[in-house]
Structure 1
Amino acid sequence: MIPDLSGLAPNTPVVVGVGQSSERLDDAGYRRMSAVELAAAAALDALADTAVDTATVASAIDTVAGVRQFEISTPGAPALLGRSDNYPRSVDQRVGADPGRAVLEVVGGQSPQHLLNEMAATIVRGDARAALVFGSEAISTTRALAKAEDRPDFTEQVGGQLEDRGWGLEGLMSMHQASHGLTDALGQYALFENARRARLGQSREEYAAGMGALFAPFTDVAAKNPHASAPVRRSAEELVTVTETNRMIADPYPRYVVARDKVNQGAAVLVMSVRTARRLGVPEERWVFLHGYADLRERDLMERSDLSRSPAAVMAAEYALEAAGITAGQLATIDLYSCFPIAVSNVADGLDLAADDPRGLTLTGGLPFFGGAGNNYSMHAIAETVQHARTAPGSYGLVGANGGSLSKYSVGVYSTTPTAWRADNSAALQAQIDAWEAPEEARRADGWASVETYTVKYDRGGVRTGVVIGRLEADDRRFIALVHQGDEEMLGLLSDGKPIGRRVFVRSFGFGNRVTTSQERMDTILARREPVLRDDYEYVTVRRDGHLLEVTINRPEARNSLHPMANEELDEVFDAYFADPELWVAILTGAGDKSFSAGNDLKYSASGKPMWVPKNGFAGLTSRRNMTKPVIAAVNGFAMGGGCEIALACHLTVADETARFALSEVKVGLAAGAGGLVRLPRAVPRKIATEMILTGRQVTADEALGLGLVNRVVPAGTALAGARALAAEIQEGSPTSVRVSLQVMAETEGIADTADAVEHPSSALESLMVSQDAIEGMTAFAQKRRPEWKNR
């Protein structure tokens, strides 16, 4: 029966062409195609799929939208064989199109379906007539030929208009997560997977068998797909049995059940208005309609109440089906994004689909077997779905496209059955998701806790890294922690025992949270350092002169900039200073006459080596609380960026005439996050502070004095001497009074009302009045002699 298409609105969107391309390294006709060439080949197939002259169809395209390749999906990622400066334009030139608009989508496997949803809505609004969406990867070729003498050069400079939407990585991975080993999707999905196993109450063996049973049918589909990168049938047992070739990557994943990124594949979809399709003469039997769709985003990793599920993905699928007016049971075809087993089982659980559903849960063979770990996998799924819909007119097919770490989910329901366009309700659904209750996170976790989920990652040499997400016993806050390298007892618990729900002990450090089996073991493997000065610092020098401590940053060759090791030493020194009752005043300066400190060591930061800052902040000062003994900055030369932030964190500053102050972070694409953005507006007039922060301009010593940024300006080369003189003046007074004064100032700093601040009850003042120094001070005054302070 031929459907009646006469009543369709002219701006109804309809998919009219799909195409795929691929090549494998061992193909007889292997052509070493670039990502652009693969996408163009798929796009030309999509144009031909309309059954209309390709040049005629190409001339009607007014919008092209490209899915990002992996090499342009991460800041700083290299393009080993070169790349196009405008990927969508490179492709449209090859197919003979000249669209007015070119789009490069954000990162994520949801991109193909999301773009199709968006382009269809754009056509409905009348802002486009025909849109070509496409994506591709040439990862296999790039890795194989990167070091070849005759390697191809895929560099293209085409220029032209481009709506580059950026990476879109916000919320997918935080710096805090990265510092705990979660820099990849693999580790995060493993956490979800183990949480799901715990929820189901399954043993490791039972859960592994389930993953194998889920993916074994996928290999059957891949084996028959000419575009599959690994067309090999494997049994359920073979998929999950750990062997030399199927090594464990991250518990519970052996290599065979994770997405395959070594692919050379491209896919494209052409969508246009009914009016345009009729004008071009596209046969109506080629038309496929989008009956339901949705685009939703899950809460960020640490904000999810249940780490074993992604309810947003299920909600998206349910809504798309509801919009289409069908149930999951009425679908003829299903393709669920399958980078890892839980990406499939999460939605299958929600829609009540069994692993052995006779319809299958993939049309391509899935990401571990068909391939396509890049963002464009689901474009292939859409192409297969459209082709199947045409072979069974009136049937329905669902594509579920997942992005991030069970983060972003886009769904489309397709059929040849004509339908009017339905605006989706994603915005209202997203508002519901955003309002879900989220657990509170403890960035710095200390104390007894329980394991909520975990994984153990394995490198190629077999070295294990344990990652735990847990809940603190004291307040149920959630935290992430690493197992200390070499802690075999904790690694054994995670690898062989039953860790979820197990009581463990966590402690925070500047380099992150660490977790182990008990407090006693934590004290053994990461013993607390004693707050005492030592003689063998590598990056600082210390000099003790009676009650005065002089600390010198000793990296003049690096303008006294600080890297993690120097920060740790300064943190240790100031721990000792504040703990030692015989040290009353500290001076911090920089070695040489060029620089107090140039701040963060940017060369070290750019080296790729691990970065961290002590819990007490940059130089052990910028985040330190309870600084109840004075620290004087003796600024000689430049105090730039973090160096200026160090000076701001000190109680007093003495600068020589050569001193220059600046929060220069904006000059290198950073921000003054070590306190400068907070302290400078509190130290100088706000407009001056804003100007300094936004321009990075330098302030001279005299200007800094006028602004109240420094206390004294002294002749060139005498900053340390000037600081010593100021320290001597402080030491004339009672160290107890100095300490209490700083404490009360800190306690009342946040009290806006002056009278309330004056009346603030402080135990420090109570203690002062009965201190030996108070008695000594009054007695000495009465006896007309110099007091002998005891600091108690």
Structure 2
Amino acid sequence: MTPDDLDPRTPIVAGVGQSAERLDEPGYRRRSPVELAADAARAAIADTGSPSREVVAAIDTVAGTRQFENSMPMARAPLGRSDNFPRSVAGRVGVTPRRAVLEVAGGQSPQHLVNEFAAAIAAGSCGSVLIFGSEAISTIERYAGDESKPDFTEHVDGDLEDRGYGLHGLVSMHQAAHGLTDAPSQYALFENARRARLKQSREEYAAAIGALFEPFTRVAAANPYAAAPIERSAAELVTPSAANRPIADPYTRYVVAREKVNQGAAVLLTSVGEARRLGIPRAKWVFLAGHADLRERDLMERADLSAGPASVMAARHALEVAGIGMDDVATIDLYSCFPAPVFNIADAFGLAADDPRGLTVTGGLPFFGGAGNNYSMHAIATTVELARRSPGSYGFVGANGGTMSKYSAGVYTTTPSPWRADRSRELQAEIDSWAAPVEARQADGWATVETYTVKQARDGKRTGIVIGRLESDGRRFISRTDDRDFSILALLGTDEPIGKRVYVRSFGFGNRVTVSPEAMDALFPVSPAVLRERYEHILVRREGHLLEVTINRPEARNSLHPMANDELDHAFDAYFADDDLWVAILTGAGDKAFSAGNDLIYSGSGQPMWVPKNGFAGLTSRRSLPKPVIAAVNGFAMGGGCEIALACHLVVADETARFALSEVKVGLIAGAGGVVRLPRMLPPKLANEMILTGRRLTAAEAQAYGLVNRVTPAGRALAGARELAAEILDGSPTSVRISLQVMEETRGIPDVVDAVTHHSPALDDLMVSEDAIEGLTAFAQKRKPRWRNR
């Protein structure tokens, strides 16, 4: 096929460009991310070989990758940033696009954008597309605290198609609770699982990593755009030193992506017809002969943590679309944020570390530089340049994002290639149907190590992260070590920890793993379920069979942080375990608030957050509250405070009380039971309104809707709760307890008759209880019963 035989809408890469600068080197100008991307965009436009003015006028779409400082909700831009990165760059180069796109985060994004917009050009929905991205992390880190720091803030008008962060399935509160938030730790899990599968020793595997990346350093050393153009030996790469400290087993610093870069890259796509109109020389035309975009299952859903089959499937399919095999490829660039993604593709295609073609065209992320989400734009640009130098050859680019989660592949060639649609959607459906392990969010018991890593901080502190399988049922779990536990670190430091037996226990703050139940008990002694004489954040008062618990944080409107939650959890454990306590009242100190819910100031402080396994206030997640709990609501019961009240059996409120699920006002949801319990207690429309708007109910309204049992004058909620408690205490505690039990047992039975005829063993116990006999005897003798709670 010749270019003249092609459909005029066939997409091509018409121009590529790169830019870079290194600190303290000649020509360093403190370029912002916008300026670095604009430099690369100008170079891509000039690279077309056509008059720049005409090419600029033809560009109707621009698309940008995200910077690190715009890749997560909590990310910050210490030097400021553009609020419309694509249009900022477009404005620098004189482009006035009708459409501007900001892509999701992830290293797959450059290749995904090329695949997407090549298809759009083929479909005729756009003409010429300028794709670009950049990072200026070196400059940002250097000047963040400097008095003379530059200001990279920009405001640009114009529409922006912001696709969001794209973090769904990549970030998990559960994983974060176990310290699994950083990329080195996540990838180290794959690495160690692969090492165990290959039955290699630590030393053998380290040598393999060194052998894999040594050739990468040679490529980087010759690349003028590289951030670290230094050639290193295999041994130097994997031998710990002051400059090459351990990061996460098995990684040292030299073999992980280098984020301190100042780099930009751009790709200009257009159609064959448009290239002819603009006079772009045919020698510049590079075709996207093959392409694919696939996503792996989420981390804990992967059957095999030693490999990434979806990534391999994407690579195979891109080659299949191109009609070639990996042996036909002249240049290869495998995404190399860590060794694992390179090994993954190399294993599948039988590529050796010393393959004469090389496995990178840039030098790879640890050495060329991990230009954030934009690295593969550099790989594409270099691949295009190499393809032009060897007409008829093929170049493969594999772009990886997330935790080996998203993979976009492209095959480039100057050989005239008609546009061929891929079958990524069909293949993705197959991936999504794969069987997944069942996860135990709360893991308890003996288990075996499936994979692991040990993170090492700069101060030498080590933390182990273990993914394992419970012996009892094979469920998978994630856990971490306790900072005081050296026995488990010793086990994880053995030649092969994978397959070893460990012991795991769940807590409100997550799963902890150690070597035995005895070691766990030593680390976390079980606190007796007996009321303490003193608590720091709550007050307890015992009077006869009544327990009063007061949240004692009036300065914070009785909002709860982890320590207060833990104390409440302990107090209610003690209440439910004490046969001599029959009724409990929960209230808040002062007259302003029962509880304002979660302590948002503490939550925003960056300190560790957790909630007891029994839930907020030790109540909202308890499967059973076997004895009555009365909420005495004085003032505000907001957010989590309202959820506590919803979890109690009875509510007494003074006339100043206000009830609301206000979480939507601060970007949260009523996740401690509010979104579940409120719709079951109130008319659905009212519950929806409260949940979706944060609407407040007065005490009188709450009583009218059945949320509150009794309303008292201001300041009398506790007194009213005591009166209600006295009425309960007048009856048999055994009858009260068994009544609650039967109500719990039958709550989930939809048919009334089935519920009524449900047999509860508790009724048999009631008939032979001392309290039942005493009640009947006292009635016959016309005297007040003397209850024994047995």
In the superposition, the TM-score normalised over structure 2's length comes to 0.99
1:466-481, aligned counterparts within 5 Å? Answer: 466-481=464-479
1:152-171, aligned counterparts within 5 Å? Answer: 152-171=150-169
The alignment partner of 2:723 has SS state of helix
Aligned to 2:552: 554
Residue segments in structure 1 that go unaligned for 5+ positions in a row: none
Q: Is the 8 A contact 2:263 2:371 kept in 1?
A: no
**Following the alignment from structure 1 to structure 2, what is the Cα–Cα distance between the partners of residues 419 and 145?**
47
**How far did residue 780 of structure 1 move?**
1.0
Aligned to 2:315: 317
1:270-669, aligned counterparts within 5 Å? Answer: 270-669=268-667
2:768 matches 1:770 = yes
Corresponding residue to 1:780 among 778, 781, 784: 778
2:44 matches 1:46 = yes
Aligned to 1:720: 718
**Following the alignment from structure 1 to structure 2, what is the Cα–Cα distance between the partners of residues 267 and 148?**
28
Deviates more, 1:679-688 or 1:645-654: 679-688
Q: Is the 8 A contact 1:251 1:457 kept in 2?
A: yes
1:6-25, aligned counterparts within 5 Å? Answer: 6-25=4-23
- Give me the identity figure in percent: 72
Corresponding residue to 2:754 among 753, 756, 775: 756
Kindly provide the amino acid, as one letter, of the partner of residue 264 in structure 2. Answer: G
The alignment partner of 1:544 has SS state of strand
Deviations 1:406-465 (CA, angstroms, capped at 9, x unpaired): 000000000001111111100000000000000000000000000000000011001001
Q: Is the 8 A contact 1:137 1:372 kept in 2?
A: no
**How far did residue 145 of structure 1 move?**
1.2
Aligned to 2:133: 135
Deviations 1:112-132 (CA, angstroms, capped at 9, x unpaired): 000000010111111100000
Q: Is the 8 A contact 1:539 1:555 kept in 2?
A: yes
**Following the alignment from structure 1 to structure 2, what is the Cα–Cα distance between the partners of residues 4 and 500?**
56
Aligned to 1:203: 201
Q: Is the 8 A contact 2:292 2:409 kept in 1?
A: yes
Kindly provide the amino acid, as one letter, of the partner of residue 509 in structure 2. Answer: F
Corresponding residue to 1:255 among 250, 253, 256: 253
**Following the alignment from structure 1 to structure 2, what is the Cα–Cα distance between the partners of residues 202 and 766?**
62
**How far did residue 497 of structure 1 move?**
4.4
**Following the alignment from structure 1 to structure 2, what is the Cα–Cα distance between the partners of residues 499 and 738?**
52
The alignment partner of 1:623 has SS state of coil
The alignment partner of 2:493 has SS state of helix
Q: Is the 8 A contact 2:57 2:95 kept in 1?
A: yes
The alignment partner of 1:690 has SS state of helix
Deviations 1:116-170 (CA, angstroms, capped at 9, x unpaired): 0001011111110000000000000110111222211111111211000010111
In the superposition, the TM-score normalised over structure 1's length comes to 0.99
The alignment partner of 1:466 has SS state of strand
The alignment partner of 1:74 has SS state of coil
Aligned to 1:238: 236
Aligned to 1:192: 190
**Following the alignment from structure 2 to structure 1, what is the Cα–Cα distance between the partners of residues 562 and 603?**
9
Q: Is the 8 A contact 1:339 1:373 kept in 2?
A: no
Aligned to 2:60: 62
The alignment partner of 1:496 has SS state of coil
Q: Is the 8 A contact 2:134 2:371 kept in 1?
A: no
**How far did residue 76 of structure 1 move?**
2.3
**Following the alignment from structure 1 to structure 2, what is the Cα–Cα distance between the partners of residues 145 and 648?**
51
**Following the alignment from structure 1 to structure 2, what is the Cα–Cα distance between the partners of residues 122 and 322?**
21
**How far did residue 373 of structure 1 move?**
4.3
**How far did residue 223 of structure 1 move?**
0.4
Query: RMSD in angstroms over aligned alpha carbons?
Result: 0.7
**Following the alignment from structure 1 to structure 2, what is the Cα–Cα distance between the partners of residues 769 and 744?**
14
1:675-686, aligned counterparts within 5 Å? Answer: 675-686=673-684
**How far did residue 53 of structure 1 move?**
1.3
Deviations 1:366-405 (CA, angstroms, capped at 9, x unpaired): 0000002400000000001000100001100000000000
Give the number of aligned pairs. Answer: 790
The alignment partner of 1:376 has SS state of helix
Deviates more, 1:431-440 or 1:774-783: 774-783
**How far did residue 495 of structure 1 move?**
2.2
**Following the alignment from structure 2 to structure 1, what is the Cα–Cα distance between the partners of residues 321 and 181?**
37
Q: Is the 8 A contact 1:62 1:100 kept in 2?
A: yes
Structure 1 stretches of at least 4 aligned residues deviating more than 3 Å after TM superposition: none
2:14 matches 1:28 = no
Kindly provide the amino acid, as one letter, of the partner of residue 791 in structure 1. Answer: N
Q: Is the 8 A contact 1:567 1:620 kept in 2?
A: yes
Kindly provide the amino acid, as one letter, of the partner of residue 396 in structure 2. Answer: L
Q: Is the 8 A contact 2:538 2:550 kept in 1?
A: yes
Kindly provide the amino acid, as one letter, of the partner of residue 242 in structure 2. Answer: E
**Following the alignment from structure 2 to structure 1, what is the Cα–Cα distance between the partners of residues 201 and 573?**
47
Kindly provide the amino acid, as one letter, of the partner of residue 421 in structure 1. Answer: W
Deviations 1:713-748 (CA, angstroms, capped at 9, x unpaired): 111110000000000000111111111110110111
**Following the alignment from structure 2 to structure 1, what is the Cα–Cα distance between the partners of residues 627 and 547?**
11
**Following the alignment from structure 2 to structure 1, what is the Cα–Cα distance between the partners of residues 725 and 495?**
58
Q: Is the 8 A contact 1:621 1:649 kept in 2?
A: yes
**How far did residue 356 of structure 1 move?**
1.1
Q: Is the 8 A contact 2:662 2:694 kept in 1?
A: yes
**Following the alignment from structure 2 to structure 1, what is the Cα–Cα distance between the partners of residues 120 and 419?**
12
Aligned to 1:671: 669
1:54-133, aligned counterparts within 5 Å? Answer: 54-133=52-131
